[in-house]
Structure 1
Amino acid sequence: MTKRKRPRGSRGARDVTNAGGNSSASGQGASDLMVLMPTSGSLIKRQLQIKEIINRLAETGFSQMALVHTIYGRPKPEDRVDTAMPKSLWETSRTDDDENKPKDPPIRIYRRLHVVLENLSDVGLYMKNQGLCQELLKEYDLISVCPRNEGVFQSACATASVADIVTLDYSIRGTRLPYKIRPADIKAVTERGMAVEIPLVPALLHTKQRKALVQTSRELQRSCAGMKPTIIFGSGDRTFEESDVGTMGFRMPGDITNLLQTVLHFDAKTAKVATGAACEMVIRRAQARRWGESDVSAVFLHEKGKPSALNPPTTKEDDENSDADMNGDEIDGTPIAKAARVGHNDDEASDDPVGDGFIQF
């Protein structure tokens, strides 16, 4: 009698959820919160491309995604969510019971507004209680800001409380960001419960931008000393040689986790939650912002004794062990001085750590 072989899962999709939405080992499904909307082609072509992307993400272990509509500066009437991102782009009619009833996609879809900020005067539109465009902003499930210079970046981190995500776009200029990341900026973002996001696809598609990804990650790690910001990674711009590569630009959750640890040198915890629990924190903050939570940041600060996706409930024994570790020289076997530096790599002798075999497209 021959043994029946156990079916193997997809490579890189271990410990993540499938399209059915089953929980992973960490209790959260994988999410890609930066899937840019197709902008070229006919309506039918864009519908087919979005459908292919949804199916690709569902098959590779993602349970949630955010379609992104990009604007520059101030929102306009045509940027209203039902005009810019109608649900008809990804919803189809049922063919079995009711033809008029929309068919649910295999994964949960959020609609996100991505704001590219170049002028300091535009940052004020994304402050709390600035009512000029609040109605339009509340229509979106998620809001992100992408600063393009030093002054806008500092102002956005300190005052743009309507935004849920601050995106670090390293593909703008050379091999570095067009601004410096200061610890004060990361502290302001962390206190508001906002997340810091780094897109991955530009570095996967363009050889010249791979060093920029590594440099951005290192600069972020150095600025996070002693703090625990929410760090997430999304897909980003899929343009290669003036065309959208579509599903070719996506990677499995397991591949992303390995990339964050082995190439970008983030610590294991940050790499594990970057596409899972950290994204859940962002979504929860956005929901509280939209529905009028009085103090959004208080819900998401990683305070002791307040369970969250990144700070799970602890037992009395865990608390005693934690207190004992803090009184000693180590935390979970790691020296305190090293543990305070989030994912920092001490070996920085080489300015160009990216070789030819980084990630092949």
Structure 2
Amino acid sequence: MLYDLNIAWSTTTSASDLERTLRFSSQLGYNVVALNHTLDAPLPSHLTNPLPKFSPTNTNSSSTTESRTQRIPTVLRRLTITLSDPSQNPQLPKAAQLYDILALRPQTEKAFQAACLTVSATDISIISLDLTTRLPFYLRPKPCMAAVNRGLRFEICYSRALASGADARARANFIGNVAQLVRATRGRGLVVSSEAVGAMGLRAPADVVNLLAVWGLSTERGGEALRENPRGVVVNEGIKRSGFRGVVDIVAVAERGDGGEERGIGKQRDGKDNKRKNGEGSGGGEGGDQPVSKRQAKKLKAALRKKEVEGKGA
């Protein structure tokens, strides 16, 4: 499956343009996309999620050209918080209740250090950077690898650099920042997204991988940035919201049969009891006996020898 976890959305985005962008992303082969809403920290006290909801579509339909044009991929809702001062309280737990994915976009060196080292990985999952601008900090290996080891992912957004209106300075900054980020992370823990405002900002996955290969990221790492890494983000965020502390996830409750026993567990126990009754237990002996220990085996051998000696003497 292919993922694009950043399709830009604002209050001025029309429903027709958004639907056109989603359908075009499905034609390019993306299975899961995320609508991104950007806010500045600190968040308002009465936080709401203005992103539209889309009902899940049937992905088992025939793969004809007509069905692809009518299909909409799975749509998630994401919030990106622009952080300049680490002392600002972004209210991440509160935002996690309203959005599917949370991301931070640091604007200063202190905010970048805090995002990599101190911000809880249970609250955010992506560190997003505007690579078309001159960053006020260096992407050094130590904080970047510390963030990757904590489970965070760095996001590369290509749409602004490939847009027709982008100037040469923005493209130069993007290429230099991508190369610096690839060296700092060794190509690990990267997520490639479009951050496209419209359908013209999207690119096919193969084109994105080829462009990143030119800028220093290997083809294998580029494929992971479109498949495995974003999938891990989506799965982990889902477990955080549906499970208990990201550890226990309740999938389904076992149904009870007529006799009051749970069906799944009761059948397994009955099967084990029947095997023991029929002599098919784990002991492997006749009549389903338990395995004999070495001491008991010696006693049995000694008793047999004693009987043989007594029989010969009689």
| Fold-level similarity (TM above 0.5) | yes
d(CA) in 1 for partners of 2:18, 2:173: 29
d(CA) in 2 for partners of 1:182, 1:295: 30
CA contact (8 A) 1:200 1:235 kept: yes
Find 2:36's aligned residue among 56, 68, 72.
68
Task: Report the Cα offset of residue 188 of structure 1.
Answer: 2.1
Alignment gaps of 5+ in structure 2:
57-69, 248-314
Partner of 2:225: 274
Partner of 1:12: none
The 3-state SS of whatever aligns with 2:142 is helix
Report the TM-score, using the length of structure 1 for normalisation: 0.59
Q: How does 1:17-166 map to 2 (within 5 A)?
A: 29-40=1-12, 46-77=14-45, 79-81=47-49, 84-87=50-53, 90=54, 106-122=72-88, 124-125=89-90, 134-161=93-120, 162-166=123-127
Name whichever structure is richer in helix by fraction.
2
Partner of 2:237: 286
Partner of 1:183: 141
Partner of 2:275: none
How many residues of Structure 1 are paired with residues of Structure 2 in the alignment?
230
CA contact (8 A) 2:10 2:37 kept: no
CA contact (8 A) 2:129 2:156 kept: yes
d(CA) in 1 for partners of 2:178, 2:43: 30
Report the TM-score, using the length of structure 2 for normalisation: 0.67
The 3-state SS of whatever aligns with 2:81 is strand
Task: Report the Cα offset of residue 293 of structure 1.
Answer: 5.4
Shift in CA distance, 188/138, structure 1 to aligned 2, threshold 3 Å: farther
Could you report, residue by residue, the CA deviation over 1:193-242 in whole angstroms, capped at 9, with x for unpaired residues? 111001101101113311111111111122124xx63101111253xxxx
Task: Report the Cα offset of residue 187 of structure 1.
Answer: 2.2
Could you report, residue by residue, the CA deviation over 1:326-346 in whole angstroms, capped at 9, with x for unpaired residues? xxxxxxxxxxxxxxxxxxxxx
d(CA) in 1 for partners of 2:92, 2:170: 35
Task: Report the Cα offset of residue 286 of structure 1.
Answer: 1.4
Partner of 2:310: none
d(CA) in 1 for partners of 2:118, 2:71: 36
Could you report, residue by residue, the CA deviation over 1:44-89 in whole angstroms, capped at 9, with x for unpaired residues? xx111111011000111111100011100022255422xx1132xx
Cα RMSD (Å): 2.4
d(CA) in 1 for partners of 2:152, 2:231: 12
1:197 aligns with 2:148: no
Alignment gaps of 5+ in structure 1:
1-28, 93-103, 126-131, 239-245, 297-361
Task: Report the Cα offset of residue 290 of structure 1.
Answer: 2.4
d(CA) in 2 for partners of 1:253, 1:112: 21
The code of the aligned residue for 2:160 comes to P
Task: Report the Cα offset of residue 112 of structure 1.
Answer: 0.3
d(CA) in 2 for partners of 1:292, 1:222: 36
CA contact (8 A) 2:159 2:194 kept: yes
CA contact (8 A) 2:83 2:111 kept: yes
d(CA) in 2 for partners of 1:259, 1:293: 41
1:231 aligns with 2:190: yes
The code of the aligned residue for 2:159 comes to V
Could you report, residue by residue, the CA deviation over 1:243-295 in whole angstroms, capped at 9, with x for unpaired residues? xxx11111111111111112x12012111121111110111221233235546
The 3-state SS of whatever aligns with 1:196 is strand
Identity of aligned residues (%): 25
CA contact (8 A) 1:186 1:229 kept: no
The 3-state SS of whatever aligns with 2:226 is coil
Q: Which has the larger radius of gyration?
A: 2
Shift in CA distance, 288/185, structure 1 to aligned 2, threshold 3 Å: farther
1:221 aligns with 2:187: no
Shift in CA distance, 293/268, structure 1 to aligned 2, threshold 3 Å: farther
The 3-state SS of whatever aligns with 1:33 is strand
Partner of 2:200: 248
